[in-house]
Structure 1
Amino acid sequence: MAATDLLRSGLERFGRRDQQIARYFIDHAEEIPFLSAGEIAETLGVSGAAITRFAQRVGYEGYPHLQRVIRHDLRATLGMKQPGGRDSVVARFWASERGNLETLQDLPEATLLAFARAIARAKQVWVVGARSSYGISLLAETILSSFRPGVRAYASDLLLSRPEQLLDATPDDVVIVFTLRRYSRATTRMIRALHAQGVQVLLITDQGASPLSKIAHQSLHLPTQGTDVLASLAPFVSVCTLLASLVAQELEGGHLKQAETLNAEFAVYEY
C-alpha cells in the first residue's frame, strides 16, 4: 500500500495533531521529497520533533524513511507508463492535445506579458532544462535569439558539472526554467544557486508540485495530458512561441532585421 493511502486509511484513528500532519502529507505528497521535516513543521506550526514522532507512530523509522517511501511511490506512478491497447491511441492522442491547447487559452494574459517583459529587459537570459525539458530549452533559445542577444540554453546536468559558469550570473539576468515530472535534481540545485545570486526565476512547468515553485518569481503551469506513455510537450512549444512573439513586440522587433541580413550574407538558407 502506498504511504499516502496508509495515512488516509488511518485518519479516523489519529489524534487532532496527527490528523493535521497526515492531511498535509496526503495533500502535498508531490512536495514531500523536497521538504525537510523542519520546513513542514514550520508550515504546520508544530515542532520538528512532532514530525519525527508522527512518522514513527505510523510505522516508519523517522521522517527520512517516510520521505523515501513517498518518493518511491511517486516514481512508480509518475514515470513512463507501459503502452495500452492499439485501438484508439491516435484518437486519444489528438483528443488530449486539443484539450491541452484549449486549457492554454485560460493562461492570464497579464502573466504572459510579465514573462515577456522580464525576458526583454534582462541582461542575459539563461534557459535551463533536463532531459526532454532540455529540448524545449534549445527551442526557446533558438526563437528568442532571433529577437535579442544574450540567450543561451543549458542542460542542467552539464551546468552542474561546471558550476564556475554561475560566476557569469548577475541580478540583471533572468533564468527560464522548464520542469516536468519527474523533476530533475540537477535542475533544482542549479536554479536555487542562480536564485541565490539574485537571478530572476521564470518557471514554466506542468501542473504538479514543482520543487521550484516556492522560489520562482513568476510561474506558468501548463497542462501536459498525453498518451498512455508520455506527457505532452506541445503546450511548452506553444507557450515558447507565444512568449517569443510577445518579446518581439516588447522589443519592437529587436535585432530580427539585422539577424536576417546576416543570414542572407552568409547564405544560411537555400531559399
Structure 2
Amino acid sequence: MNEASARLAGLFDGQRLTPTQRRIAQVLVRRAEEAPFLSSVELAESAGVSQPSVTRFAVALGFDGYPGLRRRLREALRAGERAPADERGELNVYQQAVLAEAARLRALAAELGDPERLERAGRLLAASRPLPVLGLRAAAAEARGFAYFAAKVHPDVRLLDEGGSHLADRVEQAADAGARALLCFALPRYPRELPAALAVARRLGLSVVTVADSPLTPVAEPADQLFVAPVSTALSFDTACAPLLLGRALLEAMCDALPDAQARLERFDERAAERGVFLD
C-alpha cells in the first residue's frame, strides 16, 4: 500500500459500512491517486455496484452526496493524512486487518483491568437455571461457541440462534422454566428480531448481559450489563476476535462462580474417553 492509499484508508477505518460500501472504499484506496477525480458513475463501474450505491456510501460517511466526499478525498491527499498502519511500513490489506484486530484486543485487555464487573456478570449467569444464550445472524457464531462450552459446566444452557416468531416463545419458555438472566451477543448488522426478543426477556424479569461492538448499540438498555468489544472493519466482512474473546472471559467468570464446574468437566472427560469421542 503506497502513501496515498494509506491516507485514504485512514478515512474509512472504523466506519460502519455495508459489504457493498466497503467494496467502494476498497476501490478508492486501490485507485487513491485518481480517486478524487472519478465520477460517481466511474466509481460505481469500477466497484461493480450501482450509482445510487455510491451516493448512499457518501451519505453513510456523513456527506450530503458524492461531490462532498470527492472534495474530502482531495483534501486528504493534499493534507497528507496518514493511516496508522502506514507508520509501520508497506503493509498489505491482510496484514492491516490483523494489526487492526490486535489493536482492538489490546483495548479490550485495558477494559478488563478491573475484573469486578465481569465476575459479577459471571455469577449472574451461573445462577440462572436455565441459561438462555442469544445470538442472531452475525452474532450466532459467538453464541454457539459460548453455549457449546458452557454446556460442559452449566446444567441447562439453551441456545437461541434462530429468529422468527418462535424466538419470543423460546425466551418465554426459558423464563417459565426459571431463568433469571439471558446472555446476548449483539453484532452488526443488528436483526430486527433482536430488540424484540430482548424486550420480552426484560418484561419477564430476566437480567440481560450483552456483549456488543459499541457502547451505543441500539439493542441495549441502561439496566443491562453491557460489555463492549469492537469488531474490526478492515475487510469486506467484520472480524470479531474481541467479542469472541470477551465471551470466553465471561465463560471463565461463570465457571469460577459454579461450585461444581470442575467436577462436571472431569465427568465429561471421563465419559468422552469411554466413548472414544476424540482422537487424542
Give TM class, smaller chain: 0.5 to 0.7
TM-score by length of 1: 0.65
Deviation at 1:205, TM superposition (A): 0.3
Equivalent AA in structure 1 for residue 150 of structure 2: L
Q: What's the counterpart of residue 181 of structure 1?
A: 188
Whichever residue aligns with residue 18 of structure 2, its letter is G
Aligned to 1:121: 127
The 1-side partners of 2:250 and 2:203 are apart by 25
Q: Please say if 1:92 is aligned against 2:96.
A: yes
Q: Any idea what SS the aligned residue of 2:173 has?
A: helix
Give the distance between the partners of 2:217 and 2:239, measured in 1 at CA: 17
1:168 to 1:115, Cα distance in 2 relative to 1, 3 A: closer
- Residues 139, 185 of structure 2: 8 Å contact kept: yes
Q: CA deviation at 1:177?
A: 0.7
Q: How far has the Cα of 1:173 moved from its partner?
A: 2.4
Cα offset, 1:172, TM superposition: 4.0
Deviation string for 1:77-106 (max 9, x for gaps)? 532221626771122111101101100112
Is 1:167–2:183 an aligned residue pair? Answer: no
Secondary structure of 1:78's match? Answer: coil
Specify the SS of the correspondent of 1:157.
coil
Displacement of 1:211 in angstroms is 2.2
Aligned-pair identity (%): 17
Q: TM-score, normalised by structure 2?
A: 0.63
Checking the alignment, whether the CA contact within 8 Å between 1:176 and 1:201 is kept in structure 2 is: yes
Unaligned runs of 5+ in 1: 1-75
Please state whether the residue corresponding to 1:169 is helix, strand or coil: helix
Tell whether 2:205 aligns with 1:198: yes
Is 1:79 the counterpart of 2:18? The answer is yes
Structure 2 Cα separation of the partners of residues 248 and 208 of structure 1: 26
**Secondary structure, aligned partner of 2:233:** coil
Q: Distance in 2 between matches of 1:162 and 1:238?
A: 26
Q: 1:5 — aligned with what? A: none
CA contact (8 A) 1:202 1:217 kept: yes
1: CA distance, partners of 2:152 / 2:161: 21
Is residue 143–residue 241 contact of structure 1 (8 Å, CA) maintained in 2? Answer: no
- Of 188, 197, 221, the match for 1:214: 221
Give the Cα–Cα distance (whole angstroms) in 2 for the partners of residues 167 and 111 of structure 1.
28
Q: Is the 8 A contact 2:194 2:219 kept in 1?
A: no
Unaligned runs of 5+ in 2: 1-14, 31-90
Could you say which residue in structure 2 is the equivalent of 1:51?
A: none
Q: Distance in 1 between matches of 2:271 and 2:250?
A: 24
**Superposition pairs for residues 1-271 of structure 1, below 5 Å?**
78-80=17-19, 81-82=22-23, 84=26, 88-107=92-111, 108-158=114-164, 160-161=165-166, 163-165=168-170, 166-170=172-176, 172-207=179-214, 209-214=216-221, 216-252=223-259, 254=261, 255-271=264-280
SS, match of residue 212 in structure 1: coil
Q: Could you tell me whether the CA contact under 8 Å between 1:181 and 1:208 is conserved in 2?
A: no
Q: Is residue 225–residue 232 contact of structure 1 (8 Å, CA) maintained in 2? A: yes
Q: Matches of 2:222 and 2:268 in 1, distance apart? A: 35
Q: How far has the Cα of 1:164 moved from its partner?
A: 3.0
Write out per-residue CA displacement over residues 113-148 of structure 1, whole angstroms, 9 at most, x where no aligned residue: 111111111111111111120111000101111211
Whole-angstrom CA distance in 2 between matches of 1:195 and 1:188: 10
Amino acid at match of 1:244: L
Alpha-carbon displacement from aligned partner over 1:42-101 (angstroms, at most 9, x marks no partner): xxxxxxxxxxxxxxxxxxxxxxxxxxxxxxxxxx95322216267711221111011011
Runs of 4+ aligned residues of structure 1 deviating over 6 Å after TM superposition are: none
Write the letter of the residue equivalent to 1:204. V
Query: Residue 132 of structure 2 contacts residue 179 of structure 2 at CA under 8 Å; is this kept in 1?
Result: no
Q: Distance in 2 between matches of 1:148 and 1:184?
A: 28
